[in-house]
């Protein structure tokens, strides 16, 4: 989570499983995979001898960076890659070691690491979304025939089935689940462009190196760098905000249903009040609304981060790092919260007596 989101706030707005994907150790492990795959690509292009490549790859695998030194250097360099590479070059020796990171740049390392982390986050989100959809389907099977009072523009409208309201929650989630599968595939792309995005240092071997690098990392090579074109990151941000918005709608509805009383819904559990012991506050529903509004706020920051000047922007890049992991955490936290909230519903609507 962002600075300040510690202690009780971290538990409300964060998600530890997602946070682990964006830690320094995860970042450096991705850096190592990139540099190993790059050596394989250079060997494929005959720029490094095959036997030398094996030794270099083994040394990169054994390398343990100093995270504290990299953190300090990042305040100076604005990116963790330069000091990571300084340490790596001091550790890896022998023929071919001078070609460590050859043809690449810091952004290739960091963007590829972010793409890898987002892909892993997508797997976690997929599982949680599947679980939530299954819970909603079970709720519809159990209580869908009950009657509810529809509410339009904050006024009672007409009676309808509880399944109608549940479907209004479930259908958007099913559509988002299908889109998540496509999003993961569309954004599974390598970042590789070198200092100014043209891979000039690799000459006519650039495509071969890039394709080998991508294949080893299980990514796609789009045929060009995308240093200043942030479409993949914007796509993730938009999706995450839309998903938490759909979950926030569920939270908003359930909170209002709790206010309307037993004719709408009965819950087990609920949050305590410091002053009114009789209350069971719909905290999980409130949390869904807050997380949706948080991501709705953060997505605007991602659109700001889309604006890179010339071939690379340090300022826009930093804003992206501060924003997108936080959006991933908020989304995963919202999915877990929604699953627990749906599971706490004892009854939705009023039993009519005519269900089969």
Strands 155-161, 147-152: pairing is antiparallel
The label of the residue with tokens 């030794």 reads 55
Mean local confidence (pLDDT), 170-185: 96
CA distance 335 to 343: 12
Domains and CATH numbers, the chain: 8-348 (1.20.200.10)
Contact predicate 251/339, CB 8 Å: no
Neighbour tally for 114: CB within 10 Å: 22
pLDDT of 278 over the 60 cut = no
DSSP 8-state class, residue 20: G
pLDDT in tens, 68-78: 999 999 999 88
Apex 310 CA angle, 2 and 197, nearest 5: 90
- Sign for the pseudo-dihedral over CA of 304, 306, 311, 312: positive
Is residue 275 scored above 70 in pLDDT? no
Q: What's the whole-number mean pLDDT along residues 48-54?
A: 95
* Separation CA 238–CA 257 (nearest Å): 29
Q: Is 203 left (phi over 0), alpha (psi -120 to 50) or beta?
A: left
| Sequential DSSP letters for 259-282 | HH-TTTEEES--B--SS-TT--B-
What's the pTM value of the predicted model, to 2 decimals?
Answer: 0.90
Q: Which residue has the tokens 């964006």?
A: 22
Q: Kindly report, residue by residue over 197-233, the tens digit of the pLDDT.
A: 999 999 999 999 999 999 999 999 999 999 999 999 9
Examine the pLDDT at 334 and tell me if it is beyond 50: yes
In the chain, DSSP finds a helix count (H) and a strand count (E) of 12, 4
Q: Identify whether the C-beta of residue 79 lies closer than 8 Å to the C-beta of residue 314.
A: yes
């Amino acid at each position: 989570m962002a600075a300040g989101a510690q202690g009780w706030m971290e538990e409300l707005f964060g998600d530890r499983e997602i946070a682990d994907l964006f830690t320094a150790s995860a970042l450096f492990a991705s850096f190592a995979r990139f540099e190993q795959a790059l050596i394989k690509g250079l060997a494929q292009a005959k720029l490094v001898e095959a036997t030398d490549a094996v030794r270099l790859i083994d040394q990169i695998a054994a390398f343990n960076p100093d995270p504290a030194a990299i953190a300090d250097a990042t305040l100076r360099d604005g990116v963790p890659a330069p000091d990571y590479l300084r340490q790596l070059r001091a550790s890896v020796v022998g023929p071919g070691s001078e070609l460590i990171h050859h043809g690449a740049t810091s952004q290739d390392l960091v963007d590829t690491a972010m793409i890898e982390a987002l892909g892993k986050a997508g797997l976690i989100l997929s599982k949680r979304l599947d679980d939530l959809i299954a819970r909603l389907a079970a709720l519809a099977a159990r209580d869908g025939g009950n009657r509810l009072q529809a509410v339009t523009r904050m006024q009672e409208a007409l009676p309808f089935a509880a399944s109608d309201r549940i479907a209004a929650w479930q259908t958007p989630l099913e559509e988002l689940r299908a889109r998540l599968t496509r999003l993961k595939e569309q954004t599974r792309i390598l970042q590789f462009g070198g200092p100014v995005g043209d891979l000039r240092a690799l000459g006519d071997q650039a495509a071969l190196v890039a394709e080998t690098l991508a294949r080893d990392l299980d990514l796609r090579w789009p045929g060009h760098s995308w240093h200043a074109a942030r479409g993949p990151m914007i796509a993730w941000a938009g999706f995450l905000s839309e998903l938490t918005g759909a979950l926030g709608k569920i939270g908003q509805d359930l909170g209002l249903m709790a206010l309307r009383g037993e004719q709408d819904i009965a819950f087990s559990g609920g949050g305590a009040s410091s002053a009114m012991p009789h209350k069971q506050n719909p905290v999980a529903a409130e949390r869904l609304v807050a997380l949706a509004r948080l991501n709705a706020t953060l997505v605007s920051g991602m659109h700001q981060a889309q604006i890179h000047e010339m071939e690379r922007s340090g300022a826009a890049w930093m804003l992206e790092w501060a924003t997108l992991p936080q959006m991933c955490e908020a989304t995963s936290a919202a999915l877990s919260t929604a699953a627990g909230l749906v599971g706490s519903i004892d009854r939705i609507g009023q039993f009519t007596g005519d269900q089969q």
